[in-house]
Structures are given as structure tokens and as C-alpha cells.
């Protein structure tokens, strides 16, 4: 990858890779959260022939993935900040 | 929201206020008859008139001074009413038999709802279902419609109806909606009405005044024009002069457009430079290493000092290229742009920026046309597990249902072929997922942005051609469906902001 950037200094290769890794990690966590939400709202009737057991297995697969566990830990501070912000927003109304 | 069953409905009084002398027809017998046929009897009809009113034990007469204005009459009606819920109807409106019970149940089911509006049927027109509360759309048209119900306390809090002849109820909705704890749409047609006459000169002036005050009170903006048809061209203001990074992924392809061969990215950049009124932007061109070298020199000549190149040497991935472009960019705002577009409207970038700067804005999308002047994109819609473009293949110039192609409005998502997004939101959402290199990556991004609590907007004032061929190979890989639907299938059944079937075609008007 070559970058030509007039005027300002370019990000280093390390910075680029760090930012791309951060994007990918956040994406995977939000994606897994969405999968959990989707699976959680499926009732056994909705899931048809796959059944409730399938949903539970899928959920356990998500919960036990390294990406999920690492991501939850990484995003925990952001979650806490958002919760505080929401709380402040509600109390300000 | 949907109404709970009638058995859950508590005792509650709905006051319907009418001022028949100001109506198209002073005969309110049909309205009264529709009230008499209600499933729930918790209503009263408050007639603000000095004329004789029909004798019915649920009709209340509000005395108004001779020569009173509509605002005075309506306020007199409110003062004479006893209901905890107030609606202002035209004397010619007709309610469905379940209207009052549905309204009561909806208010009872949502303690924070201060305003509830419903779908409506206008004589001679197809029903256009309404979106959930869309405050930016409301500043462009009074889309709430006839049956807009207010909690009494909210009417009192905003000191009732103001003297703005011809715009009294629109003004009330604008002011009340900014004070309401929640504004809800009650799905389902609860009222039938006649088409309204166009706004006259007095009403237009009142509307301009109401909108000017509303914009000033809600973050700024200006009224460019007000329309007799009820569609008003209002704009939010761009705050400051933020740097916008225009991220364009390209292979340097050429194509034939209107009989001429062109290098798509070169002409896209040229159209941005030549036509855009906003000036503080940079281009970040993410260019494949196989692209002809002359493209770089052409682009540098078109946009000297504004262009930087990031070389892409990996396998095709729109998502990967966009993410790479973003991490090399500096802009507070990111503008995603395909290389096969051409700018039409000079204010396009400003219109997108202004929406992307709104509080909690996630992204703002544009009106895109195919080469043959049919619409490609007027927002994303999700319908029965399908993901599609609003307005697809409708004629350029079509107004859409309830004029929706002509107004800035909230949407569930927008295509990344042209969209502006705050930089911090992009990073909070994890950018474009590289799990979807070709298809649905923008849908996924919009879903993530929405899941984080941000709002997507769309503007008809950012118009571009998108020369993506209508015959583009639409094949989608199974893994793409599995990934996108695996994440968001539960969100793809209906659109909050486009409850109608998005596949409907509309002709130019």
C-alpha cells in the first residue's frame, strides 16, 4: 500500500493497522450482539424445524466465542459511558 | 405502535374540537354520525360556533365572539372541553368506528405519549402510510394529518393555538412536538377526509412564520420557500466549515455514458469540483494498483492540493477500501462516494452535511438517479425480509407517496454510494464490515449505526446521477445473505420510516 498525501503527515503503517484492527473488532462485536438479539427474539415456533435447541446452541456458540468475550471486555468502558450519558440525559429532561 | 385490545381500554374522554364556520362545509353531521357509531362512547364533540348545533347529549357548544378567528374559535373549544385528549378535526372529516377506542388504548398504553397521529385516507387517493415520528420531515410538511391527538396538558403548556391564519394546526404541531415527551404514530387508518385546498397567500405567510420560528428554536436553519401544496423547502444550517473527506474507491474503470466514453472517477471528481458550493473538502482516492497511472495525474490536475491517493492491492473489497480510505482521511465528516456518480445539485454537499451535523445523526443519504432519469435511491427500506431502495425505478420528478420524494426526512438507512457520516460514528460502529466485501455492507453499517442510537436522514436536495447499470449483475453470494441476515433479519421485516411497500413505482407529476 502506498500513500501520497499532500500537506499533512501521513499516518504510519502501524497506525493504519491499529485503526483497521479497531474497526474490525468493533464490527465483530456489534455483529455478534445483533446475532444474539436476532436469536433471542426467535421463539421456538418462529425457528421452525430448527427448534429451540438450535437457537440455544447458536447463542452458546456466540457467547463462547473469543471475539465476543474479548470484545465485551474491550467495549465495557464505552458501554458504561453510554449508560451514564443516557442516565444524565434522562435526568436532564 | 399498535392499539391494545378494546378490553384494555380505560374510561377516558376524547374531546373533538371543530370550528364549522371555518370548514370547507359547515355541515358536521357526517362527523357527528361517525362519532355516534364509535365502539367506545368516551368522546364529546365540541362545536366552536355561535350557530345552532344539533341536539345530542355529547355535543358541547363553545361560544366564540363575533368575527373571531379560527385560533380564537379553537381555543374557545379547548376551554369548553372536558377531555384529557384533544383532537382538532375538520367538520368534513369522518372517523372510523374504532378510532376513539384505538386512540384511548394507545394513550393508555404509553404514558409518555403526548401526541399520537394516525394514518388517514384521503378521498380519491391511495392510502399513504405514515412514518414513525419524523421531526425533520415535519419541518417540510405537516405529515401528521387530520387525526392528531394531544394530551390536554401539552396544549396548555404551549398556550394553545396561535394566531397564524391558515397555519394554526401546523404551528401547533411544530411547537407541541418539541415539548412532547413522546410523539407516536398509531398504525392504521382512523380517519377519512377530503383533499385540502392549496394554501393561499395568507396561509403561506403564516406557514413561513411558523417554520422560521420552529427552525430557530430547534437548532437553526432557514425557510427557502413555502409551497401551496404543503411541501416546504426548509434547510438546516451547516455549522462551521468542517473538513469533509470524500472517500472514493476506484479501479479506474471507463464506461460509456450518454454516448461518450469516460473514466468514471475522473468525471466524478470533476463534477464535484465544478459544481459543489461547499469548499472545505479533501478527496481520498483509494485506487487499485492496476489502475492506469494517468488517472492520478488527471485527478491531481482537477483537484490540486485536495487529493491524496491510497493504493489498494488486495482482492476486491468495497468495505476494505472504504475503511482504508477513512483511516487515511482527516475529515470531521466522511463522505462516501462511488466513482460512477455525477453531481447534479450544487448544494448537495451542504445539504448532506447539515443533516449529518444534527444531534445524534448517524448518516445522511442522497437522491440518486440512473442515467435514464429514473430514481435509483431515495433511502433504504426493509420489507418482509427484503432490503431495497425506496423509489427504485420510479420516474425522476415523481412526488412519491404523500410527497415523500420531495422532502428531507428520517430513513432507516441510505446507500453508501453517496452518504455523509460523522467520523466518530463511523469508528463507534466499526466501519464497513469486511465480512461483506461486495453486497449489503452499507445496509449492515446503517443497522449498526441505528443499533447505537443514531438516526439516518435522506435529502432530495443532494441530487446525483449514479451510473451503476440497471443491468448490473445482481448475484449475491450465499455467505453474504447468511452474514447480513444472520445479523439483522429481525430488523428487515418492516421499516419504521417507510411502512408502505417500497417496490411501488411512481410516475412524475
| Statement: residue A7 has pLDDT above 80 | no
Q: Does A31 touch chain B (CB under 8 A)?
A: yes
CB contact under 8 A, A3 and B308: yes
Closest residue in A to B491 (Cα–Cα) = A38
pLDDT of residue B400: 96
Q: How far is CA B164 from the centre of its chain?
A: 25
pLDDT tens track for B417-474: 999 999 999 999 999 999 999 999 999 999 999 999 999 999 999 999 999 865 556 6
Predicted local confidence at residue A87, as pLDDT: 65
Rg, chain B, Cα only? 25
- In this complex, is the C-beta atom of A51 within 8 Å of any C-beta atom belonging to chain B? no
Average pLDDT over residues B142-154: 96
How far apart are the C-alpha atoms of B8 and B105, rounded to whole Å?
7
Residue, of A6 and B464, whose pLDDT is higher: B464
Query: A26 and chain B: CB distance < 8 Å anywhere?
Result: yes
In whole angstroms, give the CA distance from residue B50 to residue B99: 28
Q: Is B212 exposed, middle or buried (0-12, 13-18, 19+ CB in 10 A)?
A: middle
**DSSP H helix total and E strand total for chain A:** 3, 1
Does pLDDT of B330 surpass 80? yes
Q: Is B370 on the interface with A (CB under 8 A)?
A: no
pLDDT in tens, B64-113: 988 899 999 999 999 999 999 999 999 889 999 999 999 999 999 999 99
Kindly report the backbone phi and psi dihedral angles of residue B380, in degrees, each rounded to the nearest multiple of 5, phi listed first.
Answer: -90, 150
Distance CA B269, CA B283 (A): 8
Binary contact (B327, A4; C-beta < 8 A): no
Indicate which of A19, A30, A89 best probes the interface with B, i.e. most B CBs within 10 Å of its own CB: A30
**Average pLDDT of the segment spanning B160-167:** 97
Q: Over 70: is that where the pLDDT of A81 sits?
A: no
Return d(Cα B496, Cα B32) in angstroms, integer.
33
Q: What is the pLDDT of residue B413?
A: 97
Q: Residue for cell digits 383533499?
A: B195
The x, y and z cell numbers of residue B338, run together, are 462511488
Q: How far is A22 from chain B (nearest CA, A)?
A: 7
| Closest to B85 in 3D by CA, of B107, B101, B52, B118 | B107
DSSP letter string over B427-440? HHTTSS-TT-SSSS
The Cα–Cα gap between B337 and B341 comes to: 8
The three grid cell numbers given for residue B139, joined into one nine-digit string: 419541518
ipTM: 0.89
Q: What whole-number distance in Å separates Cα of residue B374 and Cα of residue B394?
A: 6
pLDDT band for position B51 (50/70/90)?
A: confident
Candidate from B308, B311, B431 with C-beta closest to A23: B431
With bands split at pLDDT 50, 70 and 90, how would you rate the model's confidence at A91? low
User: Average pLDDT of B484-499?
Assistant: 93
Mean pLDDT score of chain B, rounded to an integer?
94
The residue behind cell 466465542 is A65
Which of left, alpha, beta for B168 (phi over 0: left; psi -120 to 50: alpha)?
A: alpha
d(CA B325, CA B284): 6
pLDDT value of position A4: 46
Confidence band of A3 (pLDDT split at 50, 70, 90): very low
pLDDT at A89: 57
Q: Which of B416, B412, B407, B410 is nearest to B466 (CA)?
A: B416
Q: Of B309, B432, B490, which has the smallest distance from its Cβ to A41's Cβ?
A: B490
The model's pTM is 0.90
Q: Report yes or no: B471 at the A interface, CB cutoff 8 Å.
A: no
Q: Is B307 on the interface with A (CB under 8 A)?
A: yes
Q: What CA–CA distance (Å, rounded) separates B106 from B188?
A: 12
Task: Report d(CA B480, CA B299) in Å as an integer.
Answer: 34
- Report yes or no: B1 and B187 within 8 Å, Cβ to Cβ: yes
B9: pLDDT strictly greater than 70: no
The CA distance from A87 to B493, in Å, is 31
Closest CA to B446 of B496, B394, B500: B496
Amino acid at each position: 500500500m502506498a500513500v501520497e498525501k499532500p500537506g499533512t503527515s501521513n499516518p504510519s503503517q502501524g497506525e493504519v493497522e491499529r485503526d483497521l484492527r479497531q474497526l474490525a473488532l468493533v464490527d465483530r462485536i456489534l455483529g455478534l450482539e445483533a446475532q444474539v438479539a436476532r436469536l433471542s427474539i426467535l421463539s421456538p415456533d418462529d425457528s421452525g424445524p430448527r427448534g429451540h435447541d438450535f437457537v440455544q446452541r447458536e447463542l452458546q456458540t456466540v457467547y463462547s466465542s473469543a471475539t465476543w468475550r474479548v470484545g465485551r471486555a474491550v467495549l465495557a468502558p464505552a458501554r458504561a459511558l453510554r449508560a451514564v450519558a443516557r442516565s444524565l440525559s434522562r435526568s436532564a429532561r | 405502535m399498535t392499539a391494545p385490545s378494546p378490553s384494555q381500554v380505560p374510561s377516558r374522554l376524547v374531546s373533538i374540537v371543530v370550528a364549522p364556520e371555518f370548514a370547507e362545509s359547515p355541515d358536521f353531521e357526517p362527523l357527528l354520525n361517525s362519532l355516534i357509531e364509535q365502539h367506545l362512547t368516551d368522546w364529546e364533540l365540541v362545536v366552536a360556533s355561535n350557530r345552532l348545533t344539533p341536539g345530542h347529549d355529547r355535543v358541547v357548544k363553545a361560544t366564540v365572539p363575533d368575527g373571531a378567528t379560527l385560533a380564537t374559535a379553537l381555543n374557545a373549544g379547548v376551554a369548553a372541553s372536558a377531555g384529557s385528549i384533544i383532537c382538532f378535526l375538520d367538520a368534513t372529516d369522518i372517523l372510523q368506528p374504532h378510532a376513539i377506542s384505538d386512540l384511548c388504548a394507545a394513550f393508555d398504553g404509553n404514558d409518555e405519549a403526548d401526541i399520537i397521529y394516525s394514518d388517514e385516507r384521503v378521498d380519491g387517493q391511495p392510502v399513504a402510510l405514515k412514518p414513525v415520528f419524523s421531526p425533520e420531515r415535519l419541518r417540510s410538511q405537516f405529515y401528521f394529518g387530520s387525526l392528531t391527538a394531544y394530551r390536554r396538558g401539552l396544549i396548555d403548556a404551549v398556550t394553545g393555538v396561535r394566531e397564524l391564519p391558515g397555519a394554526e394546526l401546523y404551528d401547533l404541531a411544530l411547537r407541541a412536538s418539541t415539548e412532547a415527551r413522546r410523539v407516536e404514530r398509531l398504525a392504521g387508518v382512523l380517519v377519512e377526509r377530503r383533499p385540502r385546498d392549496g394554501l393561499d397567500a395568507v396561509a403561506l405567510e403564516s406557514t413561513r412564520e411558523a417554520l422560521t420560528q420552529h427552525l430557530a428554536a430547534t437548532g437553526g436553519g432557514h425557510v427557502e420557500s413555502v409551497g401551496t401544496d404543503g411541501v416546504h423547502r426548509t434547510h438546516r444550517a451547516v455549522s462551521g466549515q468542517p473538513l469533509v473527506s470524500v472517500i472514493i474507491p476506484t479501479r479506474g474503470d471507463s464506461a460509456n455514458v450518454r454516448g461518450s466514453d469516460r473514466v468514471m472517477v475522473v468525471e466524478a471528481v470533476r463534477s464535484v469540483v465544478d459544481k459543489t458550493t461547499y469548499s472545505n473538502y479533501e478527496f481520498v482516492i483509494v485506487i487499485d494498483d492496476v489502475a492506469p497511472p494517468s488517472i492520478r495525474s488527471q485527478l491531481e490536475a482537477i483537484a490540486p492540493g485536495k487529493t491524496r491517493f491510497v493504493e489498494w492491492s488486495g482482492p476486491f473489497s468495497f468495505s476494505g477500501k472504504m475503511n482504508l480510505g477513512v483511516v487515511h482521511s482527516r475529515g470531521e465528516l466522511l463522505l462516501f462516494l462511488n466513482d460512477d456518480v455525477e453531481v447534479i445539485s450544487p448544494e448537495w454537499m451542504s445539504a448532506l452535511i447539515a443533516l449529518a451535523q444534527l444531534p445524534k445523526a448517524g448518516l445522511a443519504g442522497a437522491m440518486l438517479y440512473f442515467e435514464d432519469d429514473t430514481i435509483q435511491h431515495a433511502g433504504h427500506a426493509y420489507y418482509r425480509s427484503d432490503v431495497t431502495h425506496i423509489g427504485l425505478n420510479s420516474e425522476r420528478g415523481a412526488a412519491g407517496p404523500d410527497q415523500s420524494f420531495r422532502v428531507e426526512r428520517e430513513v432507516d438507512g441510505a446507500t453508501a454510494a453517496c452518504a455523509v457520516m460523522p467520523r466518530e460514528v463511523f469508528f463507534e460502529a466499526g466501519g464497513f464490515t469486511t465480512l461483506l466485501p461486495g453486497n449489503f455492507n452499507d445496509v449492515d453499517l446503517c443497522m449498526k449505526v441505528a443499533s447505537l442510537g443514531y438516526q439516518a436522514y435522506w435529502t432530495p436536495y443532494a441530487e446525483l446521477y449514479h451510473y451503476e447499470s440497471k443491468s448490473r449483475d445482481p448475484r449475491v453470494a450465499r455467505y453474504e445473505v447468511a452474514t447480513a441476515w444472520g445479523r439483522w433479519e429481525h430488523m428487515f421485516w418492516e421499516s419504521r420510516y417507510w411502512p408502505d411497500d417500497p417496490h411501488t413505482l411512481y410516475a412524475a407529476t
